């Protein structure tokens, strides 16, 4: 059974810092991996989707990498801002089942 883990559960950094959020999964046979952002009281917003054939995806100050063989993905946020404060979740799609498997998220706080 696929399990997705995100460590740490919470992270607090000063504004301007570059940071990395981690996501690991137990079964490397995935089709793709998504990173989501969730603001308090809101739904999830998809940030980046990496297909299994890709190594990374970039959107603005965000860069997500995928290492299938080691079962890891990272989300790199450059020059963090207070507006980046949110919970970040990763999810994998394995194929064969029409579902995403989610991690429990990392709550990021960027302090001014």
Partner 1 sequence: DAGITQSPRYKITETGRQVTLMCHQTWSHSYMFWYRQDLGHGLRLIYYSAAADITDKGEVPDGYVVSRSKTENFPLTLESATRSQTSVYFCASTGGFNQPQHFGDGTRLSIL
Is residue 31 at the binding interface for partner 1, with CB under 8 A as the rule? yes
Q: Binding to partner 1 by residue 2, rule CB under 8 A? A: no
**For 106, which DSSP code?**
E
Residue 98 C-beta-side C-alpha neighbours within 13 Å: 0
**Closest alpha carbon to 60 in 39, 91, 37, 87:** 37
| Nearest-approach distance from CB 99 to partner 1, in angstroms | 6
Are 82 and 112 in contact by the 8 Å Cβ rule? The answer is yes
The number of residues making up the chain comes to 112
Nearer to partner 1, 5 or 70 (CB): 5
Stretch that binds partner 1, among 17-25, 27-35, 65-73, 74-82 (CB under 8 A): 27-35
Query: Where does this chain bind partner 1 (CB under 8 A)?
Result: 31-32, 34, 36, 41-46, 49, 51, 89, 91, 93, 95, 98-100, 102-105
């Amino acid at each position: 059974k696929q399990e997705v883990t995100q460590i740490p559960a919470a992270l607090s950094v000063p504004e301007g810092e570059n940071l990395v959020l981690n996501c690991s999964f137990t079964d490397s046979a995935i089709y793709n991996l998504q990173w989501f952002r969730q603001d308090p009281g809101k739904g999830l917003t998809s940030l980046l989707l990496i297909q299994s054939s890709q190594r990374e995806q970039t959107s603005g100050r965000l860069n997500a990498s995928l290492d299938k063989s080691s079962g890891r993905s990272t989300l790199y946020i450059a020059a963090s801002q207070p507006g980046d404060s949110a919970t970040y979740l990763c999810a994998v799609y394995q194929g064969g089942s029409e579902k995403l498997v989610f991690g429990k998220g990392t709550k990021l706080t960027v302090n001014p």
